[in-house]
Amino acid sequence: MNGKSAGKLWVRAGLIAIVLPLCFIFPYVLIVVLILTWLTFLDFIEPKTKTVLPPRTWVDAKPDDSDWLELFLKGCESPAEEKFLQSMVKEFNLYPSNGALISPALSMEMQFTFHNYRFDFVLNSKYIVEIDGATYHSSPEQVERDRIRDEFSVAHGYSVLRIPASIVFNNPAEAIRRVKDFALNPTRSATEPEPEPVAKNSIIRKPVSNYIGDFTKGVSSFTKIVIDASLKQATISDFKKAIDSEQIFLNAMVRKVETEIRLMNLSPGERKIHDEMYARITQGHIKKPITEIFCWTPIILPEPIDNEVVQRQISMECPYHLENLRKYFEDLRKRSANDYMFAVLFHKYMEESGFPDMDLIKSGAHVPTSRE
């Protein structure tokens, strides 16, 4: 029983002792005494609540703990960070100390928070190390956000090293070499001033004009990202629509062929029932020619634009969509090679629909960079 519960029992016991003599004068007061006695009894038999300790994290790790490395690994946000952490611990003989990993040559903090950013690792309180996964950090938008983030870090006295996750996994020795060159043997120009490291959670006092300038710069960077994204969308809109519509029509054509094959495999009785049901459902509807259902749009690469950043993004994205389309045609050719009936019907309907590039569905064909 905790102190709070014990205090309640003593208060109620005192009330009972005070009210009990009144029962001889006012018999109805006995009801109050019985209620207080019952509540006191319930509190007394109340099961004791166990204090649940919060789970341990790397911040609680001590050098003598057998699982201290496991606690630090659980604090990582990706397998690449875990691999990097293990390599660093092994190379520099790091051990835990007040939520950080230290050795005579190096100190390392993880999940380091500064202003609105959180960094993967910070070495010797001034060198930021970010482990970049290819999937998340390769998009143009994320590259721009990383650039703004790095500029902010450098402006506040930090240096930044980004190591691709592929290097951490495939060549950890190279990752360690980069860390040593970055944090232990930094090369700076003799005229470059040594930035003063900023302590964690310290208050940066700058003139109001500086904050306004930082805000204006951030707004300008964000506006540029939005404008570039809009320009890219407008430039590749026709190309993307043509790709998407062709994919939709090809899928519809495959389903049409598959339906035709299923009908061919029905027994005469089943086919008669199907035809009667189909006639009832489509009664009064005029069946459109296949050329009106499938309207193939020429796929043309967008014209180059003057914006180098956006043009570079377009040059990366367009081949990606064409490659996906090429793989789809390759799958259709393989299916045609293995299924004679599918090949006959698919080629027949594609030709009747007016598909402009019949050679693409034949064996050995390939999708060019554009189709006009």
Confidence (pLDDT) at 105:
83
Task: Check residue 194 and give its pLDDT.
Answer: 45
**What is the pLDDT, as a whole number, of residue 85?**
92
The answer to whether residue 197 scores a pLDDT higher than 60 is no
What pTM value is reported for the model? 0.41
Are 341 and 261 in contact by the 8 Å Cβ rule? The answer is: yes
Has residue 3 got a pLDDT over 90?
Answer: no
Give pLDDT tens digits for 350-368.
998 988 888 877 765 555 5
pLDDT number for residue 193: 44
pLDDT > 90: percent of the chain: 18
- Is pLDDT of 201 > 80? no
Average pLDDT (64-76) is 89
The per-residue pLDDT for range 249-286, each reduced to its tens digit, is 889 989 989 998 998 888 988 888 888 888 888 776 77
Give the confidence band of 190 by pLDDT, cuts at 50, 70, 90.
very low
- What are the sequence ranges of the domains in the chain? 3-45, 58-184, 238-361
For residue 74, the SS3 value is helix
In this predicted structure, what is the pLDDT of residue 123? 93
* Helix spans in the chain (H): 3-19, 29-45, 68-74, 79-92, 134-137, 140-155, 165-170, 172-179, 208-264, 268-281, 290-293, 308-338, 340-352
Instruction: Provide φ and ψ at 211, rounded to 5°.
Output: -65, -40
Residues comprising the chain, all counted: 372
Q: What is the homologous superfamily of the domain 58-184 according to CATH?
A: VSR Endonuclease (3.40.960.10)
Tokens of 37: 């006695």
Strands 127-132 and 159-164: parallel
Check whether 53 has a pLDDT greater than 80: no
Q: Between the CA of residue 281 and those of 188, 253, 271, 286, what are the distances in Å?
A: 80, 21, 15, 12
Q: Is the confidence at residue 106, as pLDDT, over 60?
A: yes
- The mean pLDDT of 211-237, rounded to a whole number, is 77
Q: Which helix (H) or strand (E) holds 113?
A: strand 107-114
pLDDT of 40 reads 73
pLDDT at residue 309 tops 60? yes
What is the rounded distance in angstroms from the CA atom of residue 44 to the CA atom of residue 49? 13
pLDDT of residue 177: 93
Q: Are 78 and 165 in contact (CB under 8 A)?
A: yes
Mean pLDDT of 203-210: 55
Per residue in 77-96, pLDDT (tens digit) is 889 999 999 999 999 999 89
The number of angstroms, rounded, from the C-alpha of 149 to the middle of its chain's C-alpha atoms is: 18
